[in-house]
Amino acid sequence: MSPLIIVLIILGLLVVWAIAMYNGLVTSRNRVDEGWSDIDVQLKRRYDLIPNLVETVKGYATHEKETLDRVVQARAAAMSVHDSKSAGPEEMEKAENMLSSTLKSIFALTEAYPDLKANQNFAQLQSDLTDTEDKIQAARRFYNGVVRDYNTKIQHFPNNIFAGMFAFKVREFFEVESAEEKQNVSVKF
């Protein structure tokens, strides 16, 4: 074999390897975007359920206007951040964590209003919201997993060279903000 053919084979292999590396980075970035989109879908579902839940609780808990107002304000703030196209995981985390903590206060109201616990609409809305919260957690776990894989891939050598050349940036994890959020919630029925 002539040296020219050997050099061409080596160059061809390098080109194929570079293409495969680039495509792997693109695939990982798209999975991160998909994970973020999954979180987005579940948050939208949560935003749609909250007004129905608040209206149902209002009928029973007329004395709890302050709690209900906090939930409505937290939802509005979270939706505002959500609708802002420039908002990243940090801003979304803060708004969503605030909304989660105010939702916990609504469920705590069921202890003070036994009739509310028995209300079918409330029970269904609570079940739907709980299901949505579970899906949000699953979407966050998926997102964090693909972000971990993506960040690892773009930081490994020689991928980091291609990642730098093609502007693949490290992504942030979606994390719980405060110690209060990490504690178990006590909701009794």
Reported pTM = 0.62
In a domain, 63, yes or no: yes
In a domain, 20, yes or no: no
**Residue recorded with tokens 């490290």:** 170
Proportion of the chain above pLDDT 70, given as a percent: 82
CATH code of residue 131: 1.20.1440.20
Domain count, the chain: 1
DSSP code for 183: S
Helix (H, G, I), strand (E, B), or coil: what is residue 167? coil
Select the more confidently predicted residue: 72 or 182: 72
In a domain, 15, yes or no: no
Distance of CA 90 to the CA centre of its chain: 11
Boundaries of domain holding 37 = 31-163
Question: Averaged over 54-71, what is the pLDDT?
Answer: 70
Angle (CA) 32 33 34, round 5°: 90
